[in-house]
Structure 1
């Protein structure tokens, strides 16, 4: 049976960030994820998790200047020292959150540019080795060009190639079904092929990035397929509620944690 993590960057935004943890727990979630924790002290995040008896499923390495449009720096030549410092910054949150997987955003760069490819490979190797010392998986996520034009990692086969090429057991694929549907379609077939590489799963309806349903991708079917594949990790709910967070949780009722 799938276990779900509420994405607190998109869900429960009716609450202040640190109050979203309690709201998610009260709604029946046993885990949370979010994009970035860096506006808050690590101990604040840790206390919010403890208070809600929640597991931290995932968060991202620092993305550069997100407010100015940067979407990661791992593939950006000339930003290598900044990238290494960003790994140190993320590690400061690992102890307080107990997180076991971090996502590395690639940045806006031409995926066919040799300099960007070389920089990305070096960043991947550095981050994977540093995180591996702490028992942390490094996740690579393809992101569709509609939501993030110009993103370096925009194809699932490309991402899988980087995972395999790394030769590191803690480098895994972040399989966001929403992005897969928009990039390739046929999420089910691609999940089956790439499943041995998958370290984390995320969901959202393709139309509007709202609550998951059967309209595409077919989530009831995909949840059953995850069970059949033996997936025992968390499924991140990285969607924007169509009306309100609580109002849109009807889909979640069969899997809600008893209070």
Structure 2
């Protein structure tokens, strides 16, 4: 199992390359980004190679939605460009979004029946999987909360699991984001177990506040035990905002709840 950290939320007071070096010094294997076009991807990749830190992933689409059947060509072109950058930078995953996201807001789905929107997503992701095949990059379907992001089509874990199950392609996986799921229905254990066959990434942040584990209402020790029971071996990404403003505190909490030694033991025991 590998530990990744979002350098969009940690070490924000320094350039991206320095954030990568800080992640390596803190013992992380990988870093996660948002939009590769605004995050100095070349500097991140170079700093990562020097520090022995890989790129976990970044957005595959943001400007164009998967759910609009009329926009199929545009979203596939956007994903193809992101795939090229992923291969060049060594990124392992691309995040797939049902809707376009602009200025931190969700662009509403077109006014079509739910089954048409779902079908458009399935067809677009299946076509994107054909583009990604053989690249070493996994397409990861991202559910988001509709509390702060109203209008997003994939509003919980079952929504992305349904799409992944229908496509049934090893190039396509799902994220399980604790923060987003807790805000939109909870039942974290049940949904984690149901998502396990397609689980490509487990995202950690507390509720409320999106802070480090050990703050808020989520029992991360129980979720870690659930991952142990499932025998899952993937990437854990920490999308955490330090609760006290100190990056050292967030790293210490991550090390307490999801230590590097536990990740290594999981890999060795697999």
Is the 2:147–2:184 Cα contact (8 Å) retained in structure 1?
Answer: no
Match of 1:56 in 2: 55
Match of 2:150 in 1: 149
Per-residue CA deviations over 1:36-63 (Å, capped at 9, x if unaligned) read 2123565433212112211222211131
Match of 2:177 in 1: 176
Aligned to 1:13, the other structure's residue is in SS state coil
Give me the TM-score of the superposition, normalised by structure 2: 0.84
Match of 2:254 in 1: 252
* Alignment root-mean-square deviation, CA: 2.1
d(CA) in 2 for partners of 1:12 and 1:87?
28
Aligned to 2:183, the other structure's residue is in SS state helix
d(CA) in 1 for partners of 2:128 and 2:6?
23
User: 1:117 and 1:246, CA in 2 relative to 1: closer, same or farther beyond 3 A?
Assistant: same
Per-residue CA deviations over 1:137-175 (Å, capped at 9, x if unaligned) read 211121110121110111222221111111322211111
Match of 2:265 in 1: none
Match of 1:67 in 2: none
Q: Which runs of 4+ in 1 moved over 4 A?
A: none
| 1:14 and 2:37 are equivalent in the alignment | no
Give me the TM-score of the superposition, normalised by structure 1: 0.87
Any unmatched runs of 5+ in structure 1?
65-71
Match of 1:133 in 2: 134
| 1:222 and 2:223 are equivalent in the alignment | yes
Name which of structure 1's ranges 73-82 and 231-240 shifts more when overlaid on structure 2: 73-82
Larger RCO (CA within 8 A; separation ≥ 6): 1
Match of 1:76 in 2: 68
Aligned to 1:162, the other structure's residue is in SS state helix
d(CA) in 2 for partners of 1:169 and 1:229?
19
Aligned to 1:38, the other structure's residue is in SS state helix
d(CA) in 1 for partners of 2:255 and 2:79?
37
Aligned to 1:79, the other structure's residue is in SS state helix
Work out which of the residue numbers 88, 94, 97 in structure 2 matches 1:96.
88
User: 1:57 and 1:191, CA in 2 relative to 1: closer, same or farther beyond 3 A?
Assistant: same
d(CA) in 2 for partners of 1:47 and 1:251?
28
d(CA) in 1 for partners of 2:181 and 2:203?
10
- CA deviation after TM superposition for structure 1 residue 14, in Å: 1.6
Is the 1:45–1:96 Cα contact (8 Å) retained in structure 2?
Answer: no
